[in-house]
Amino acid sequence: MISGIFQHIPFLANVTVLRLTNNKIKRLKAATVKKFKRLEILLIDSNRLPTLPKEIESLNFTTLALDKNFFKCDCTTKWIKHWLVQLKNKPASNKKHRKRVL
């Protein structure tokens, strides 16, 4: 769980790139996601995440890597599929960044 790591870091609101690949992360808390105000690139692939907090939908990514996690497939996570499809089809807001969902 990464909430303990980020709980007392005041500069999270200014982070634009976060690479958490291959860290055995099992949970991403909603409270942690809410602290990311400028996050554009999130690489959280190759972990052990079974789900994501719904608050992640409010972030504006240019790159998002989620592959090689242990996402469960049931009614509680159905929204993730719809969100990812929508995110992938949404044009990038900044022309220098092409939106990528990995």
Tokens of 62: 């240019």
How far from the centroid of its chain's Cα atoms is residue 86's Cα?
A: 14
The distance between the two most distant Cα atoms of the chain, rounded to a whole number of Å, is 37
DSSP assigned state of 12: G
Angle at 63 between CA 57 and CA 66, to 5 degrees: 70
Q: What is the pTM of this model?
A: 0.80
All structural domains of the chain with their residue ranges? 3-101
Q: What is the pLDDT along the chain (102 residues), one digit of tens a residue?
A: 454 555 667 788 899 999 999 999 999 999 989 999 999 999 999 999 999 999 999 999 899 999 999 999 999 999 999 999 988 887 766 545 556 776
**Could you give the 3-state DSSP secondary structure of residue 68?**
coil
